Amino acid sequence: MSVKVFIDGSSGTTGLRIADRLAARPEIELLSISAEGRKDVHERAKVINSADLAFLCLPDAASKEVMPLLRPDVKVLDTSTAFRTDPAWDYGFPELNGQKEKIQRSYRVAVPGCYASGFISIARPLVELGLAPADFPFSCTGISGYSGGGKKMIAEYESPDRPAHSKLDAPKSYGLGLAHKHLPEMQKISGLARTPAFVPVVCDYYSGMQVLVPLDLKLAGTTAEAVAEGIANYYRDGATVKVHALNETLPENGLYSNAMAGSDRMELYMTVNAAGDQMMLVSLFDNLGKGSSGAAIQCMNLMLGLDEVAGLE
C-alpha cells in the first residue's frame, strides 16, 4: 500500500531534490497540482489535506499562510525557518537525544537549517553532557557550496556570462552583522544561554559544507579526552552521524568542504593542540543532503513508520 505525499514548492532547490528522490520509491505516491493551482493557497491546501504527509518547501511567509488551512492529522515537514523554534513543532534532527522518538510521533516537524545542523551537532552534546556551560561563548565558521543560496545564487555562479576571472572565484564571507537567520535555532536547540558568533562563507563549488567550532578547553572546564568520549557515545546509535576518533589522521592533512557532496550523512572530526588546551570540532556534510533534502527524507521515513535510512545515500 502506497503512502500519499505532496511537495508544496517542488520547483525550488530542496523541493526538486526531494521530488526526484521520492519518485524512485515504489511505496510513495507523489500527488500533483496544476500550474494554476500552485498559485492558489486554498487549492494547495486541498491537495495537502488529501495527503498522508506533505513537505512545505516554501518561503517562511508562504508556509505560515498555508498552515492554518491544514487538517491537524496531516503530517507536515517544513523546510523554511518559520517553525524551527516554535514549541508546537518538533526539530528534525533524529540523532539528538530523544528526538527520534518525538519525530516518530509528530505531525509537525521543522527540518533544520544547513549551517544550524553542523553547529548543533557539536554544541548540543557539549552542553547537554556538561562538557561546556550553557553560557559558553561559542563561535563558529561555516563553509558552503553555492547551492546553499538557492536558485538565484546557483544561476549567478553558473551563468554563461560569468567572466573568466571573477570575484565569484574567491570565497565570500557574509552575515558579518552576526544576525544570520539560523542563529535562533542554533541557540535554542543547542540549549545556549547566549547567541553564538557565527560567520558563514560561500565558495565556488556546488555542494558540501563544513562547520568549524573551536573550543577553549580551560574556559569550558573540560578535557579533549572527555569531549571525544562524550560525543562518540552521544552519537553511538545515530543512523547518519559518524564520529571520528580524536586526532584521527585527516585525509590530505585537512578537510575539503565538498568531501561529503552527494551523501546524506554527517561526519564529525575532533583535533586537539599539543598543549591540550584547545580543540577544533568540525562537522562535515552536504548542505543538500544532511543539511536539507536528506534530513527531510530521514524525518519523513520516521513519521511514516518506514526504515529510517530508506532512500538515503
Tell me which residues are annotated as active site: 114
Cell numbers for 7, please give them: 511537495
Set of cell numbers at residue 234: 552521544
- Sheet strands side by side (includes 172-173): 172-173, 197-203, 139-145, 209-216, 278-285, 266-272, 241-243
List beta partners, residue 109: 77, 90
Say how many C-beta atoms besides its own lie within 10 A of residue 165's C-beta: 7
Q: How far apart are alpha carbons 285 and 195 in whole angstroms? A: 23
- Backbone torsions φ then ψ of 225, nearest 5 degrees: -65, -40
183: CB partners within 8 A, 6+ apart? 195, 196, 198
Alpha-carbon gap, residue 135 to 260, rounded angstroms: 32
The residue count of the chain comes to 313
Grid coordinates standing for 259?
Answer: 568531501
